[in-house]
């Protein structure tokens, strides 16, 4: 039995903020990557696809998504 799909849903305001964050010059790369991971999840990408794209472990993607769902 597979686990339920982990996905984020964003408001248009959250989407815009995360997009701007992922492109900002004065933001650490890891923060930009986290913003991208959340946006990709909201676009319907699977954890495994996001991990490959960002060159992260699946567990790192899951942690970022869970953290977003808990704290925003």
Give me the residue spans of the domains in the chain.
12-71
Q: Read off the pLDDT of each residue in 34-38 and give the average, rounded to a whole number.
A: 96
The crossing angle, in degrees rounded to 10, of helices 47-54 and 58-71 is 110
What is the model's pTM? Answer: 0.88
Distances (CA, A) of 71 to 8, 56, 65, 68: 12, 21, 10, 5
Q: Read off the pLDDT of each residue in 29-53 and give the average, rounded to a whole number.
A: 96
In words, the CATH class of domain 12-71 is mainly alpha
The predicted structure's pLDDT at residue 4:
64
Could you please report the per-residue DSSP string of 3-72? PPPP-----HHHHHHHHHHHH-TTS-HHHHHHHHHHHHHHTT--HHHHHHHHT--HHHHHHHHHHHHHH-
Instruction: For the chain, give the percent of residues with pLDDT over 70.
Output: 94
In this structure, of 18-22, 30-34, 38-42, 68-72, the range with the lowest mean pLDDT score is 68-72
Q: Read off the pLDDT of each residue in 38-67 and give the average, rounded to a whole number.
A: 96
Confidence of residue 35 (pLDDT cuts 50, 70, 90): very high
């Amino acid at each position: 039995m597979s686990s339920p799909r982990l996905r984020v849903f964003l408001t248009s305001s959250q989407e815009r903020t995360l997009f701007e964050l992922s492109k900002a010059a004065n933001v650490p790369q890891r923060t930009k990557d986290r913003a991208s991971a959340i946006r990709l999840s909201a676009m319907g990408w699977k954890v495994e696809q996001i991990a490959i794209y960002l060159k992260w472990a699946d567990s790192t993607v899951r942690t970022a998504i869970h953290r977003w769902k808990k704290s925003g």
